[in-house]
A and B are shown apart, each in its own frame.
Chain A
Amino acid sequence: EIVLTQSPGTLSLSPGERATLSCRASQSINSIYLAWYQQKPGQAPRLLIQGASSRATGVPDRFSGSGSGTDFTLSISRLEPEDFAVYYCQHFGSSLWTFGQGTKVEIK
C-alpha cells in the first residue's frame, strides 16, 4: 500500500505570498493517479488537481501541480484570502485510494 506523506504540516504565510506544498509517496507512482484537494472548515473537499498537474474545472490558474515518481508539489502562486485551507494529496492504485495527512495553509 502506498503511503503519502505531506509536508509541512502547517504553512504560515501572508496573502500574496507563494505557497509550496509537498507530497511524497512511499514508492514510485504513476503521476496520472495523483490528485490534490482543498478543504475549508465546515465544507466538503474540492478537487483541485488531477493527474498531478491538470487543474480541475473552474480551478484558478494560480494553482499548479507538478512532480513525478515519489515527489509531488502543489503550488499556489499568490495566496488569496480564500486559499487558506487544508490541502490533501491522494493516490489511486491497486484498487485502493489513499490520502496524505494534509497540509494546513494558515494566515501568518
Chain B
Amino acid sequence: EVQLVESGGGLVQPGGSLRLSCAASGFTFSSYTMHWVRQAPGKGLEWVSSITGSSNAIYYADSVKGRFTVSRDNAKNSLYLQMNSLRAEDTAVYYCARGYSSVWYFMGHWGQGILVTVSS
C-alpha cells in the first residue's frame, strides 16, 4: 500500500525557515516523480514544486521560486521541501503527492497533509 507521511510543519515567524519531510513507503520511491501541493485555509489547491525520480528535473511555482528548495533522498525514501523567507501567504496545508503510475505529471497518491502557519 502506498503511504506518504508529511512532517516538519508548525508555527514560524515571517522571514523564518522550515523544512518539510515526506516519508514514502509501499512503492519504489526512486521511480516516481514527486510533488508538493498546498492549500491555504478555506482556499483551493496550489501546486508548489515537483521533482523527478532521479532529481534531474525540478520545477517551482513562481510564488515560491528562489525561496523554496525541493530535494529527495532515494536511499531514505524521503522527499523534502526547504522553505526560506516565509511569508504570511505561505500559510497552508502542504501535501506531498506521488505521480500517477506512468502519467508522472498527475498526482495519483497524496499524503494527509501538514499545516504550516506563518505568523508573528
User: A85: shortest Cβ distance to chain B, in Å?
Assistant: 13
* CA gap between A50 and B109 in the complex, in Å: 13
User: Which of A11-19, A73-81, A92-100 lines the interface with chain B?
Assistant: A92-100
Nearest residue, chain B, Cβ from A101? B44
Residues in B33-51 with C-beta less than 8 Å from chain A: 35, 37, 44-47, 50
Q: Could you tell me the dominant secondary structure of chain B's interface residues?
A: strand
Please tell me if B27 contacts chain A, counting CB pairs below 8 Å: no
Which listed residue, B50, B61, B107, touches A45 by the CB 8 Å rule? B107
Interface residues on A, range: 20 to 34
B61 and A96 contacting across the interface, CB-CB below 8 Å: yes
Chain B residues closer than 8 Å to A50, beta-carbon distance: 100, 103, 106
A44 and B106 contacting across the interface, CB-CB below 8 Å: no
Q: Could you tell me the dominant secondary structure of chain A's interface residues?
A: strand
User: B101: shortest Cβ distance to chain A, in Å?
Assistant: 8
Which listed residue, A47, A92, A97, A102, touches B44 by the CB 8 Å rule? A102
Please tell me if B53 contacts chain A, counting CB pairs below 8 Å: no
Please tell me if A56 contacts chain B, counting CB pairs below 8 Å: yes
User: B33: shortest Cβ distance to chain A, in Å?
Assistant: 11
Q: A90 with B111: in contact, given A97-B47, A99-B45 (CB under 8 Å)?
A: no
Chain B residues closer than 8 Å to A90, beta-carbon distance: 45, 47, 106-107
Using a CB–CB cutoff of 8 Å, the interface residues on chain B facing chain A are 35, 37, 44-47, 50, 59, 61, 95, 100, 103, 105-108, 110-113
